[in-house]
Structure 1
Amino acid sequence: MKIVQQFRTTTRLAACLVLCLGIAAVQGVVTRPEIAGWYAGLVKPSWTPPPFVFPVVWTALYILMGVALWRLWERCEPSTARTRAIALFLLQLVLNAAWSPLFFGAHAIRFALADIIALLVAISFAIAASARVDRLAAWMLVPYVLWVAYAATLNAGIAWMN
Structure 2
Amino acid sequence: MELLKINGELDKKKLAISILVPIIAGSVTGWLANRNAQKKYKKLKQPSFAPPAPVFPIVWTSLYAIMGLAKYRAVQKVEQEDSDSPTIPFYDLQLGLNFLWSFLFFRWGLRGTALIEMTILLGAIAMTAYEFQKKDTTAGALMIPYISWVTFALGLNYSVWKLNK
State the TM-score, normalized to the length of structure 1. 0.88
1:75 Cα deviation after fit: 3.3
Of 108, 111, 116, 1:114 maps to 116
Give the whole-Å Cα distance in 2 for the aligned partners of 1:78 and 1:145.
Answer: 28
Q: Of residues 75, 79, 82 in structure 2, which corresponds to 1:78?
A: 82
- The amino acid that maps onto 1:113 is L
SS at match of 1:40: helix
Gaps of 5+ in 2: 1-9
Q: Which residue identity is paired with 1:91?
A: L
Correspondence 1:69 to 2:71: yes
SS of 2:135's partner is coil
Deviation at 1:28, TM superposition (A): 2.5
Structure 1 equivalent of residue 52 of structure 2: 50
Amino acid at match of 1:144: Y
Residue from 45, 60, 63 that aligns with 2:62 = 60
Question: Distance in 2 between the 1:138 and 1:32 partners?
Answer: 34
Q: Which amino acid aligns with 2:98?
A: N
Unaligned 5+ residue runs, structure 1? 1-7
Q: What are the Cα deviations for residues 80-118 of structure 1, in whole angstroms up to 9, with x where unaligned?
A: 3xx212211111111101010111111111111111100
- Give secondary structure in 1 for the equivalent of 2:102: helix
Question: Share of identical aligned residues, percent?
Answer: 34
**Superposition deviation, residue 149 in structure 1:** 0.3
Pairs aligned (count): 152
Specify the alignment match of 1:34 in structure 2: 37
| Displacement of 1:27 | 3.0
* Distance in 2 between residues matched to 1:20 and 1:74, nearest whole Å: 17
Quote the residue 1:3 is aligned against. Answer: none
Return the offset for 1:34: 2.0
1:13 maps to 15
Deviations 1:97-144 (A, max 9, x none): 101011111111111111110010111111111111111011111000
Query: What is the deviation of 1:32?
Result: 5.2
Report 1:126-137 matches (<5 A): 126-137=128-139
SS at match of 2:49: coil
Conserved? CA contact 2:71–2:132, under 8 Å: no
Output the CA distance in 1 between the equivalents of 2:51 and 2:148: 15
TM-score, normalising length: structure 2: 0.87
